[in-house]
Amino acid sequence: MAERTEAVGEQVATGFGSAETPHDSSALLVWLTQLVRTHENGTLAELRRAGEPTNAHIRAGWFGGDEHRELFERVAFLFAVYHQGRSVPSYGLDSLGGAARRIGSGKEWGPTNPGAVRLVARVVASRRVPWRHLQHVVTRLRSLDKAPPRWDKLIEDLLRWEDRSARVAYNWSVDFYAPDHRRGK
């Protein structure tokens, strides 16, 4: 089964990461969700290993091309952290700010939960991509059995993180603090 999933990853990656196609977040997600569906726990465990890149990290990086290789490897890490021990992939809901609204306990969720507020404040205050804090958000959502952020949206947001005109951190804050009536609740 490992060879089959590896072949799927290689087949999906063919043609991506070239000059014509600098990155393909959809193809990365196809590969990652296939790993969860086919119970490729060894490959998912490789993705969760920090430090030296593993074969799984390198394969994930293919989808990002030369310019975004590290970002795709790190998003694959976050995906694997969230899906540890799961057999059904979650494509996620909302932006990271919207997902962080699902952090909390009891009657204090999202912007009414001091821990969630501090975590989001740390994420949006960073000028560089705040990988460690993103991992904390994903880990908290996983431990609460809440949906992660939309993985495709997360990738696209992180690709534009340092583009001041994209206002990614600001938009995540708006999504986090949005009143319930604005969110259709």
65 and 103 co-located in one domain: no
Q: 20 lies in which domain range? A: 2-82
pLDDT at 184: 53
User: Is 52 a domain residue?
Assistant: yes
Picking from 40, 55, 82, the residue at the C-terminal end of a domain is 82
User: Among 30, 57, 82, where does a domain finish?
Assistant: 82
Task: Give the chain's end-to-end CA distance (angstroms, integer).
Answer: 43
Rounded Cα–Cα distance for residues 169 and 133 (Å):
13
Tell me: do 52 and 114 sit in the same domain.
Answer: no
Rounded distance between C-alpha atoms, residue 30 and residue 16, angstroms: 13
> pTM score, two decimals?
0.86
Look at residue 51 in the predicted model and tell me its pLDDT: 80
pLDDT at 36: 98
Residues 60 and 26 in one domain: yes
Residues of the chain with pLDDT under 50: 1-19
| Domain end call among 82, 111, 141 | 82
Residue carrying structure tokens 């997600």 = 29
Sequence-distant (6+) residues with CB within 8 A of 115 are 103, 104
